[in-house]
Amino acid sequence: MDIFLQQIINGLVQGSIYALVALGYTMVYGIMGLINFAHGEVVMIGTLVTITVTGTLIKAGMPVALAGLAGVSVSVLVCIALGWGLERIAYRPLRGAPRLTPLITAIGMSIVLQNLAMIVWGRNYMTFPAFLPKIDYEFAGANFTAVQIVIVLVSAATMGGLLLLVYRTKLGMAMRATAQNPAVASLMGVNINRVIAAAFIIGSALGAVAGVMVGSYYEIAHYQMGFMLGLKAFTAAVLGGIGNLGGAMAGGILLGLIEALGAGYIGDLTGGFLGSHYQDIFAFIVLIGVLMFRPSGLFGEKTGDRA
Amino acid sequence: MKKWLNPRSAFGIALIAAALIALPFVAAMGGQAWVRILNFAILYVFLALGLNIVVGFAGLLDLGYIAFYAVGAYVYALLASPHFGLHWPFWVILPIGAMVACFFGVLLGSPTLKLRGDYLAIVTLGFGEIVRIFLNNLNAPINVTNGAQGITLIDPVAIGGFKFSSSTQILGVSLSGPQKYYYLLVVLAILVILINLRLQNSRIGRAWQAIREDEIAAKAIGINTRNIKLLAFAMGASFGGVAGGIFSAMQGFVSPESFSLIESIMILAMVVLGGMGHIPGVILGAVLLSILPEALRYGVGPIQMALFGKMLVDPESLRMLIFGLALVLVMRFKPAGLWPSPERKRELQGDA
């Protein structure tokens, strides 16, 4: 039983991270129908920027908490600039092009960002500075750390903030309107370009936060970490119903739980034939399963022929 | 057939044939490495043409194509290496590899028949990753794939006593291993190109095109869209399987590393950059994207040394950087590809 609880906790933490990244995918997809393949790379750059800034400031003698805060802020700003730049340079000129065109561009940008990161930060794994005290708690035989609590709380707070923004502000209304029908929204005086830019900016900021979380959770980071994370987050978004904010959050948490429980029990279930190193497979099996039986996702509305 | 007989075409064909025969000797002047690069270029032509059936003809966006290449390569590796102690001849294994890959193609195709566009892309990508994860981990408890270490000492292609791996003298001309493989590959490539050309203008090819343009309309006029789509996946996969087998024999070594997602993307990029659905364009794309990066690998280092006196940037990452940028730029300025088919170009100018 304690393994069960332990895996639930691990799944929740991982799921909170997936959810934040998934929001970036789902917002962009909801508004412009584009899979922003480069989003995972934005998250990765968020992590690496935090490492560099925080690490440098700590070395310069700044208190750890302050350095961490500075690192996170700089990383959010860099990611916002990156997301905005991506939209401006790569995707905006392609609006109205056949669907394959922006998809390939997104893949291209993902490759570009990954290799730029490699040139800047090198091939090696980097250690993430610990800016939270290492405290372990125990609950009914399961262990969890302060970092895990903070991740879940920050993630919940960020998502709450996003929901407020989308459902209580004018910008949010404009975003929802654009997602419904860009042409009509534009006729109603919504500045489509600004809305799309906002979706990229907000998604990237969330991505940066998620990047910091991944970094502090695993304590290492690497220039290739973004792609798989992005894929899984996209899976989470599809699982919840792409374009649906609540769906992305639920899908993220659910995927985290499926992965954690799957990795925990796959050995027992298959009599030791498959082990926990098959963890990465669950996301893809879930993805294929969802798309086969319920392409609109768990919480998505049934849409017509999408694609 | 009249067109083939006119002297200008005949001259053109003769010229191309002469160039193809001479090419490995020209390349060998830069070292055997260049002959190998040439061979890989032809292998990529195979792969790109196979993917072109799925993406270009039938309009099914497949991001997991490398999985079939991997299947073909592993089938060859398992049946012709000391790993299981089997040493079957290559003309037995190659069709088996194609058939197993074909089976995997149907396996991937059948659950995804309802999906199109982005969703299909993502699912196929997931499929490719699943295959790679299994290749990476199927070394315990029963050692099937030997895990991340891969399989070594794979038998080279041999017909009777004629081995393709070592150099021989033929009519007083010395041919190296890679050069012999080159001729084998060229013959196979011509075969593949002919099959593709015939397919494109066949009933099946037309049906694929109809599905690509409007699936519902295709269904309405009586095309069995399910079977025709499965056929596209199966045929594309079989080409991938054959290419994989040859890769395996040529390298003498396979490991999961060769079948990563980036390879799938690379092949898709060849198809798209060249001109989706247009066979000459796809060939151009495959040749360009497989040779240019190699040229860059050799060029970037020395140029940096000359300019800055030291290596500032790792040539490998610079190569991928340029590749990514090329994808973005071509999509921006030539979305139909470098050499689109005339009709495709017309379509893209309208609302697609």
Cβ-count burial of A160 within 10 angstroms (0-12 exposed, 13-18 middle, 19+ buried)? Answer: exposed
- pTM of this prediction? 0.86
Does the pLDDT value for residue B29 go beyond 80?
A: no
From CA A98, how far away is CA B350, in angstroms rounded?
10
Peptide bond into B24 cis (omega under 30): no
Give the confidence band of A285 by pLDDT, cuts at 50, 70, 90.
confident
Q: Name, of A139-148, B141-150, B258-267, the range with top average pLDDT.
A: B258-267
From CA B78, how far away is CA B93, in angstroms rounded?
10
Q: How far is A169 from chain B (nearest CA, A)?
A: 31
pLDDT of A263 reads: 83
ipTM for this model = 0.85
Chain A residues near residue B130 by CB distance under 8 angstroms:
281, 284-285
Q: Three-class SS of residue B199? A: helix
As a whole number, the mean pLDDT across chain B is 83
Give the confidence band of B351 by pLDDT, cuts at 50, 70, 90.
very low
From CA B215, how far away is CA B219, in angstroms rounded?
6
Sign of CA dihedral A300, A302, A303, A307: positive
- According to DSSP, the residues that pair with A136 across neighbouring strands are A145
Chain A residue whose CA is closest to B212: A307
Q: Give the pLDDT confidence of B224-237 residue by residue, as tens digits.
A: 888 999 999 999 99
Give, in order, the Cα–Cα distances in Å from A187 to each of A184, A190, A196, B68, B85.
Answer: 5, 7, 16, 48, 71
Tell me whether residues A292 and B262 touch, CB distance under 8 A: no
CB of B65 less than 8 A from some CB of A: no
Tell me whether residues B121 and A110 touch, CB distance under 8 A: no
Say which residues have a Cβ less than 8 Å from residue B75's Cβ, sequence separation at least 6.
Answer: B93, B96, B97, B100, B101, B241, B244, B245
In this structure, are residues B96 and B264 in contact, taking their beta carbons and an 8 Å threshold?
no
Q: What amino acid is encoded at B268 in this protein?
A: L
With pLDDT > 90 as the criterion, what percentage of chain B qualifies?
Answer: 23
Chain A residues near residue B119 by CB distance under 8 angstroms:
238, 291, 295, 306-307
Q: Give the pLDDT confidence of B305-348 residue by residue, as tens digits.
A: 777 766 667 777 777 888 888 888 888 888 888 888 776 555 55
pLDDT of B51 reads: 93
Q: Give the pLDDT confidence of A35-81 residue by residue, as tens digits.
A: 898 999 999 999 999 999 999 999 998 888 899 999 999 999 999 99
Chain B residues near residue A103 by CB distance under 8 angstroms:
61, 118, 121
Chain B residue whose CA is closest to A99: B117
As a whole number, the mean pLDDT across chain A is 87
pLDDT of A206 reads: 95
Does the pLDDT value for residue B102 go beyond 50?
A: yes
Chain B residues near residue A278 by CB distance under 8 angstroms:
133, 137
pLDDT of A304 reads: 43
In this structure, are residues A217 and A148 in contact, taking their beta carbons and an 8 Å threshold?
yes
Choose the mutation target among B331, B332, B333, B338 for the interface with A, i.e. most A CBs under 10 Å. B331
Give the confidence band of A302 by pLDDT, cuts at 50, 70, 90.
low
- Tell me which residue in A104, A116, A288 faces B327 most closely, judged by beta carbons: A104
CB of B170 less than 8 A from some CB of A: no
Does the pLDDT value for residue B152 go beyond 50?
A: yes
Chain A residues near residue B212 by CB distance under 8 angstroms:
none
In this structure, are residues A128 and A47 in contact, taking their beta carbons and an 8 Å threshold?
yes
